[in-house]
Structure 1
Amino acid sequence: MNIVILGAGLMGRLLACQLARAGHALELFDAGGPEALNSAARAAAAMLAPLAESAITETSVVQMGVHGLKRWPELIAQLDEPVFFQQEGTLVLWHRQDVGEAERFARQMDATCLALPSLPSPQRLDAEGVAQLEPSLGSRFAQGLFLPGEGQLDNHQLLAAMLHQLQRLNVKLNWDSPRSPGDFLPGNPGQPDWVFDCRGLGAREQWPALRGVRGEIITLQAPQVKLTRPTRLIHPRYPIYIAPKGDGIFVLGATEIESDDRSPMSVRSTLELLSAAYSVDSGFAEARILDLVTQCRPALPDNLPSIRRLGKRVMQINGLYRHGYLIAPALLDVVMELFTTNASPLASTLSLSLQDLQH
């Protein structure tokens, strides 16, 4: 078939790679350039932490995340270029003044494991347990939680590797070329057979319920810091994480600010994030700031993803919120089921919202 995909962020590239490998002729349109500088997919830590995310989301997202953890190694293995991936678990830490917030977080983790018994249970750590997992932290933290099996990947490497794959598969790539579903009449002569809209906030005109949720990311080079796994620091205002990317590179961020403002980071936010990093590991004092990025993630009113049909052969995938890398493989597999069989048992299993607006 001849297929058009709108949007070359995470979802658009994943879907394009999958369909091109299946032998379809693809044309991809994006309002930006090949580096995806204006995409929410670029401003992310790409942590694959379904249990940790259950503190702020629904069970269905956790289930999608579990599915994604299994699928990411398979999807990465299909790419020609290497992509950093690890599954060494998540370390959750807090300072003494935030123990109340930490207890609420721990209770939510326990409740999630009761609802989903297949998830590995969180492990409570004392100071010695924290130091065993991350020796560089020494006796800095008296308590912590370890969430086994959770993972992360390098989103910049992944986006670049998928771009290389699309070029090798002869996908026609149209950069700086914004398009909407209304520009095509699938099934008519000279028109594509299918159109998939993966534009995130770029689709807001056709999907008015979408809103932006601001994320802020600082990339640091800190060769003195030896953290080996994603670390979440409990914070009373918003979640803060530190994600190692290898070679002394760390991503520091907070991803749940209710605003669609894309202006540069404020002094307050920058100080809070850098202070949080320093409070976890004093080695960050000598880190070099490589990048400060702000971006807005596309969210629907319930903060859950949705797939909907605008016509017989027009499908929109959106609302990935702050869970893009966690849930994208699940959405990909559901879309492929719908595309090939017009039904998706997986969507029912994951309680994923499917809407039909074609009538």
Structure 2
Amino acid sequence: MPAHPLLRSPASITLLGAGLMGRLLAVELARQGHRVEVHEAGGPGAEGSAARVAAAMLAPLAESAVTEPGVVRMGQHALGRWPALLAQLAGPVFFQQEGTLILWHRQDAPEAARLRHKLEQTQATVPGLPALQVLDAAGVAQREGAVAGRFHQGLYLPGEGQLDNRQLLAALAATMEQLGVRTHWHSTRAPGDFQPGGAGQPDWVIDCRGLGARTQWQALRGVRGEVVRLHAPDVTLQRPTRVVHPRYPIYIAPKQEHVFVIGATEIESDDLSPTSVRSALELLSAAYAVHPGFAEARILEIATQCRPTLPDNLPAVRVVRQRVLEVNGLYRHGFMIAPALLDVVLQVLNTGQSALASDFALSLSLPS
């Protein structure tokens, strides 16, 4: 038997935090017939959320260079889940699954060889990943004509994808409203403000506040990320492209209407001050080296945000007391793994345990 009460429909559920995880859970729980209420410290635009400042790449094999096989399996699971989740939303969300292209300049070939070895190790460890393809100059030109002649070697990772993070956040907010979710914007609340299960109280409280939960989850830390959003009408990259470099490997994620999200920096700091000149120069110079059309691009935004991260850089789910569940630590993999964490949380609420958590080697703490 489970060690905590199971979710009975219709239940009353209070969610703390309306970033990516909070919105996904609010929509799915409301769709299942539960009464859902959300408290969010910011506004509907998710201005304070790490999910707003992201490229939203869904790249489990590419990300295996910096994470564990369990996270790769979460990414595999999520790639299969995203189309169904997006199809039920109140607004359109750009989504593509055209793979990931990895490029490098000749002087960075040793670094690229190390990366290829790491990716091949992942493929040997995690079954079901599409085989990476090694490209010569002709192969690079065939996959991405826009960079033909500038790169003579590359890797292509089939099946990987991306979506538009800001369209998704907006569509989730609209769907929450459509489903009757009671949302309190600019409302800062903590689990201690509720006594779930009591008279006039919710049946469950789910804390998805990211770094806002540091008072309760003191192991959390912020890892700063910086991205540039450009409008580049002269650039026609078809898929997320990563450039190997020993100091600042970058990614370029093409969105709709020639908007590009470019990022690289990852700094062990919760500093939210503006981007440094050095970081901006490195990002923009690396993008220009991929395609000279970026020289005439217009800078739409240079943004900074901190990702909520646990000591092992892995996500975790825990039930800290009766009817209070916390999910956190999505680090740099939020969009890639959020549907997997969504399904784990739903299993825990409905059955008291989660077989998926075991499959993902996910840290799952339940009361004994």
TM class by shorter chain equals: over 0.9
Partner residue, 1:15 = 25
Partner residue, 2:230 = 220
| SS across alignment from 1:247 | helix
Match for residue 315 of structure 1 among 315, 322, 325: 325
Task: Extract unaligned runs of 5+ from structure 1.
Answer: none
Cα deviation 1:137-187 (Å, max 9, x = unaligned): 121001110000000000000000000000111111111111110000000
Structure 2 CA distance, aligned partners of 1:28 and 1:321?
A: 22
Matching of residue 81 in structure 1 with residue 101 in structure 2 = no
Task: Extract unaligned runs of 5+ from structure 2.
Answer: 1-10
Structure 2 CA distance, aligned partners of 1:260 and 1:106?
A: 32
The ranges of structure 1 where at least 4 consecutive aligned residues each deviate by more than 4 angstroms after the TM superposition are: none
Query: Retained in 1: the 8 A contact 2:248–2:282?
Result: no
Match for residue 334 of structure 1 among 344, 354, 359: 344
Count, aligned residues? 358
Structure 2 CA distance, aligned partners of 1:114 and 1:344?
A: 26
Match for residue 123 of structure 1 among 133, 136, 142: 133
Please, what is the CA RMSD of the aligned residues?
0.9
Structure 2 CA distance, aligned partners of 1:121 and 1:345?
A: 27
1:6-45 matches, within 5 Å, as 6-45=16-55
| SS across alignment from 1:322 | helix
Structure 1 CA distance, aligned partners of 2:134 and 2:268?
A: 31
Cα deviation 1:41-99 (Å, max 9, x = unaligned): 00000000000000010000000000000000010011121100000000001112211
Matching of residue 291 in structure 1 with residue 301 in structure 2 = yes
Structure 2 CA distance, aligned partners of 1:239 and 1:43?
A: 18
Structure 2 CA distance, aligned partners of 1:136 and 1:253?
A: 20
Match for residue 263 of structure 1 among 259, 268, 273: 273
Percent of aligned pairs with the same amino acid: 65
Query: Retained in 2: the 8 A contact 1:256–1:322?
Result: no
CA shift, 1:239, in A, is 3.2
Question: In structure 1, what residue type is equivalent to 2:190?
Answer: S
Structure 1 CA distance, aligned partners of 2:215 and 2:14?
A: 19
Question: Could you tell me the TM-score, scaled by structure 1's length?
Answer: 0.98
CA shift, 1:19, in A, is 0.3
Partner residue, 2:7 = none
CA shift, 1:255, in A, is 4.8
Structure 2 CA distance, aligned partners of 1:239 and 1:173?
A: 39
Cα deviation 1:181-234 (Å, max 9, x = unaligned): 000000000111000000000000100100001110100000100101000011
1:1-359 matches, within 5 Å, as 1-356=11-366
| SS across alignment from 1:104 | helix
Partner residue, 2:4 = none
